Each structure stands twice: as C-alpha cells, then as structure tokens.
Structure 1
Amino acid sequence: MRVYDAPVEMVWDAWVDPAQAAQWWGPRGFSLTTHSKDLRVGGTWRYTMHGPDGTDYPNIATYHEIEKHKKLVYDHGATEISPPLFRVTVLFTTIGKKTQMEMTMALASAEAAIQTRQFIKQAGGEATWDRFAEYLAEQIEHKERFVINRSFTAPIELMYQMWTQPEHFGKWLPPTGFTMSFIRADIRVGASSFYKMTNGSQENNVTMYGRATYLEMNKPNRLVYTQQFCDADENISRHPMAPAWPETMLSTVEFTEEGANQTRVTVTWEPYGAVTAEELQAFMKERGGMTMGWTGSFDKLEMQLNAQLETQ
C-alpha cells in the first residue's frame, strides 16, 4: 500500500495512459514499449519491458474488472506462449487531497508467492512505486525528487529511534564500506549534527565530512532535515567524488505504521535552495546509484533491527 500526494484522477490517468506509464513503469533502469492497449473488461495491454542489460520482457495483461478511479483487476505476466503469472487487484482510495493505492497479487500457491516476492526484490521491482511518486511530483510541483520505500518488521517507535539516536543510525546510515563518527550530535529542531565518514582504506582512503540540520521532528511519524558536505572545519564544500552535486539536499523521512510490528519507511530526497541546471542534472542521473546506496543502508538497518529485537 502506498499513499501519493496527488488526486485520484491524476493517479488513475497515470496508470491507464500508456504514454504516462512509460515514464515510470518498471524497476529503475528499465524502459517500456506499448504495442497496444484496450482498456475494457476482456481487453488487453500488450507491452515489452526493456531491461538495462538489453533483455526484453514481453507481457500481455488482460483486464477483468475496471471501475474508473476506484479499481483495476487484471492478469499479469502472460506471453503469446505462456499463461499469466498472477492476478493483480489495485484499489484507489481518496484520502483528502491524496490517493491511497493498495495492490494485491494472487498466485496459485504459497510457494509461488514466495518465489515471486524474491524475484521482485532481486529485480528491484519495488522501485516502480518510488518512480511513480517521483513522476507525480514532477507533474504536480515540477520538482525532481528521489523516492525510496521499504517495509520493516519493527514497531514504529523503535524505527523512529533508529533514525534519531546517533548511537543507532551512525551504524547503518553510512554507505556500505564506510564508518560514521560524530564530532557533534545535537538532534533537535533548529540544531545540527556534524559528522565524519571514512572507508578506512590504506590504499584509497576516502574521508567525508557532513552536516545535518533538523527542520522538523514529529515523533514517531516524520523527520525532515537538510544535508551538506563540509570540510574538517565545517565549511560548506562539495562531494569529493561529485563536484557538480547540489550543495544542499533536503531529506524527508516518513514512518507509516502497517501493523503492530510493521513500519514502512519512505525517504524523499531532493535538491534544496538555489540549484543550477548542472547540479539538477547530476542529481537526476544518479537515481540508480542512490537506489543502490539506500538499499545497502536499509539492509544494514534491517540487520540492526533484528539484533535489537532479539535482545528485547
């Protein structure tokens, strides 16, 4: 389930219009070619997904239920020579000025469901819905953003602690291979933290300094802060390996309770303040790298959460 900051009419149209779907459908790095689309009960959507390695994935989706702005039911994954892989039900619900999208996939067996879940994770299929959020933001606000979600088996209060207590997030937030230490950790609205990250390599040492300034802390649902690269004296600098990277980034982290011990984390990242065209392009080109970086951090967060819960 996802909630998008867009009216249901816009969300629906972006789903059913193949020209719009081509802008966001599929994992990062994939593209889409629609061959035909007949949006009616019994009609089909015939398209091919093109993987970043050049592999083509043909698909025939057959529609079984269509309730405009409310519901889609269709079979997914069929080809000219093979049957569908599963049946998809998508529900669209208006929540104020936003839209809740709830998707269910029905498979023939529990084993098939497990295999499909593993395949979607390995292929980065969840990024489809992050790309959708980015597409809607660009259409509505004319802003370029990066969005990534993950659902964790942990209560929302513990998840908030993992993001706001330096003894926790200093262990999982750094890029894979880096360690993080705090020169100053003052985590409250209006204050800032100053930190150091290093890969500890003897041959190719990389050391980065950064500052996070906290704009909003709404426990346990929302955290907003800016980030800037700095030098050792806390003067603003640039990413040591990406000089065109925007000077200031805005991070919005939303925590959504999906159950007593299940929390979805949504991270939205965007350039903040004055941004040049070159900087915006550098940001947009790195969405694939950002996905890999955040996925590595989320994997470490998941391990730390498991360890934390085992001790409770």
Structure 2
Amino acid sequence: MSASNEIRIVRIYDAPLKAVWDAWTDPAQTAQWWGPRGFTLTTHSKDLRTGGSWDYTMHGPDGTDYPNKTHYLEVEPLAKLVYDHGASDDRPPMFRVTVLFSEVEGKTHMDMCMSLPTAEAAAQTRKFVRKAGGNATWDRLAEYLAKRLMDQERFVINRSFDAPLATMFDMWTKPAHFSRWLAPTGFDMRFIRADIRTGGSSMYSMSSPAFTMYGRAHYEEVRSPDRLVYTQQFCDEHKNIARHPMAPTWPETMRTTVDLTAEGPDRTRVTVTSEVVGQATAEELATFLDGRAGMTQGWTGSFDKLDAVLAGGV
C-alpha cells in the first residue's frame, strides 16, 4: 500500500531481468523509450554508480527542451536504483525515485515508487504526469523490449482503475458494459452480434454524426478473471472485410491482448497490447507505428469513459 505522498508504478515486462536493466541504464537504449510519446532524449553524461549522476535533456515534440539532472543515491546492479529526479542547475529535485527489479518466471517485475514532500505535491504530480502523457514512458519501454528482443512491433498502454478484478473482467466481456465506454470519444457503440468466449465472435458498429463504421472480432482466449485476447478487423454492414474509413492503409487485422492485474482488493491494472497479425505491407506497418500516439489518445479517452462508468456504479 502506497503512502499518500507516494506514486507507485508496477509493471511486468516480458523480458529477462538483464535486458530490462540494460534498457534502463545504457544511454543508447534509454534514448529509444524514455519520456512521453513524441519526446526524444540527449544524454550529455552518465555516471551510473552510487554518488554518480545522469545529465540529459528531453526534447518535446514542440521543440521545447527540458534539462534534467539525476543524482544516484543507490545503485545495486540488476536489483535497485534510488535517485533524485528532475533537478537542473537552477532547480532542486522534484522527487525521489526507488526502482526495484526482480525476475519472476523469466519475466521482469519492476516496482517503482516516487516519493514527494507532501500528499498535495503527489496529487499535483499525478495530474501533471497524466496531462503530459508521462505514463506512456513505461509503455514505450515494453514496446522497445518487444522490438529489441523479439523483433515485434507493438502498441502498449496501461491504466489502473478503482474496481475489483471481477468487475473489470465484466466491463471487458459483457456487451452491455463494454459498449458504454469502448468507442472513441464522440462515437456510440452497438453490438450487432456478441458471443464473447474462447472461439466466439462478435460484430459491432460505431457511429458518429458524420458516419458509421463496422467491425468484427474473433476471441482467441477469454480467461476469467484476468485475460482477453481477440483479433479485430474493420468490415462493412454485410461482414465483408473493409478498411478503416479514415485510414485506408491501416493493417487489415490487429490482435489485442488485455491483461488484468489486481493491485489490491478494489484496484485493477489494465494492460492493453496491440500488434499486427499476418502479412502487412511496409506502408501498413508504418501507418501502425505512426499511429501509436493517436492510439494512446484514443484509449485514454475510452479509459476516461470507463472511469466515469465505474464511478457511476455498474
């Protein structure tokens, strides 16, 4: 249980411990994923040891530079990092970070805690990080590891909700709940057919004032209470495969994996992973990669609606 002045982030990465540690500590690798989507990173110097420091600049997509200086208080290789984050030559550190790394069945468990002076400062930082898209940093790490280790291009997004695991599973697998929040902002979703079980399928429509689009899904795995895997295609009203009406070069078939993890009796973390299925042209793959920022925005809007549904009672 985190204290009121702490922000805790827990992730499980499908990668060996050393690969995750190296991604965190090798400047060349860190530059591939550190920061919100659209940001880039320049490391000026890095001395990874207790008492050492990391001097770097984050470059925002609008061209704004954000100088940062990290001071390492503890460095235990493959196990622990403790550092003060967010300082610069004219600014004290924003908070202290403790990151614990451990191996769990061949995967890597990352437990990160950001400690701030007060509960109010923690609340303000949560809002700032969320508005800036900073939580996508840890999703980008998952994407980077998938590409580096398995040569797989993926989109990953995480979000934690104040709801029990069983409730969250229902929100993803019962059409009456699912259709209330999944559609992009400005769209209404309606299931034409729904058989959400392993081997089942569904067809649905998403409508806005401007147009209606149709989709179909095949459920490869539905495992209560923590996992859902399905492939998805756009189609016409007669179930024939079609392309996204606003993105004709979007890949034909996508696979979405939803993993649900209990973070407490009344809190659940949702991890959504999307990847291209089957043969895709270079143009289609580029469209998918270029679309990850938009996917983050779309899922964030859907998750905001899910938060509202949960707050209103299920």
Task: Tell me which interval the TM-score lies in, with the shorter structure as reference length.
Answer: over 0.9
Give the secondary-structure state (helix, strand or coil) at the position aligned to 1:122: helix
The equivalent residue for 1:155 is 164
Give how far 1:183 is off: 1.3
1:48 aligns with 2:60: no
Alignment of 1:241 onto 2:246: yes
Pair 1:295 & 2:304 matched: no
* Cα distance, 1:10 vs structure 2: 0.4
**SS in structure 2 at match of 1:69:** coil
Q: For residues 140 and 215 of structure 2, what CA distance do their matches in structure 1 show?
A: 27
**Partner secondary structure for residue 308 of structure 1:** coil
Q: Is 1:268 matched with 2:273?
A: yes
Q: Verify: 1:222 aligned to 2:227, yes or no.
A: yes
Deviations 1:175-196 (A, max 9, x none): 1000011111111111210111
Q: Are 2:123 and 1:120 equivalent residues in the alignment? A: no
After superposition, the C-alpha distances for 1:256-291 in whole angstroms (9 at most, x for unaligned) are: 000000000000001111211111111000000000
1:69 deviates by 0.2
Residue 285 in 1 paired to residue 290 in 2?
A: yes
- Partner Cα distance (1:66, 1:244) in 2: 46
Match of 1:252 among 253, 257, 260: 257
Counterpart contact for 2:196–2:222, Cα < 8 Å: no
One-letter identity of the residue aligned with 1:193 = S
The Cα shift of 1:169 comes to 0.6
Tell me the CA shift for residue 41 of structure 1. 1.2
Q: Does 1:62 align with 2:71?
A: yes
d(CA) in 2 for partners of 1:86 and 1:301?
A: 30
2:36 and 2:262 map into 1 onto residues whose CA distance is 25
* Consecutive unaligned residues in structure 2, runs of 5 or more: 1-9
Matches of 1:237 and 1:164 in 2, distance apart?
Answer: 25
Runs of 4+ residues deviating >4 angstroms? none
Q: What's the CA shift for 1:82?
A: 1.4
1:96-136: CA deviations, max 9, x gaps? 11000000111112221111111111111110000000000
Q: Which amino acid aligns with 2:166?
A: E
Partner Cα distance (2:215, 2:255) in 1: 13
Percent identity, please.
65
Where does the alignment leave 5 or more consecutive residues of structure 1 unmatched?
Answer: none
C-alpha separation in 2, matches of 1:41 and 1:172? 47
Q: Does structure 1 residue 11 correspond to structure 2 residue 20?
A: yes
Give per-residue Cα distances to partners, 1:127-150, cap 9 Å, x unaligned. 000000000000111010000000
Residue number in structure 2 paired with 1:305? 310
Give, in whole Å, the separation in 2 of the partners of 1:141 and 1:13. 16
1:193 maps onto 2:206 in alignment: no
Deviation at 1:215, TM superposition (A): 0.4
1:160-199 equivalence runs, <5 A: 160-199=169-208
- Alignment match, 2:140: 131
Q: What SS does structure 2 have at the residue aligned with 1:174?
A: coil
Alpha-carbon distance in structure 2 between the residues aligned to 1:107 and 1:232: 53
Cross-structure match for 2:7: none
- Equivalents in 1 of 2:117, 2:176: separation in Å? 45
Between Structure 1 and Structure 2, how many residues are aligned? Answer: 305
Distance of 2:63 and 2:211 partners within structure 1: 34
Q: Would the aligned equivalents of 2:256 and 2:273 in 1 still touch at CA under 8 Å? A: yes
Report the equivalent of 1:74: 83
| TM-align CA RMSD | 0.8
Contact 2:85–2:97 (CA<8 Å) still a contact in 1? yes
2:115 aligned residue? 106
In structure 2, C-alpha distance between the alignment counterparts of 1:19 and 1:242, rounded to whole Å: 33
In 1, Cα distance between the equivalents of 2:181 and 2:120?
32
Letter in 1 for 2:271: T
- Secondary structure at the residue paired with 2:313? helix
Question: For 1:57-95, what per-residue CA distance to the aligned partner results, in whole angstroms no more than 9, with x for missing partners?
Answer: 100000010100000001101101111111100000110
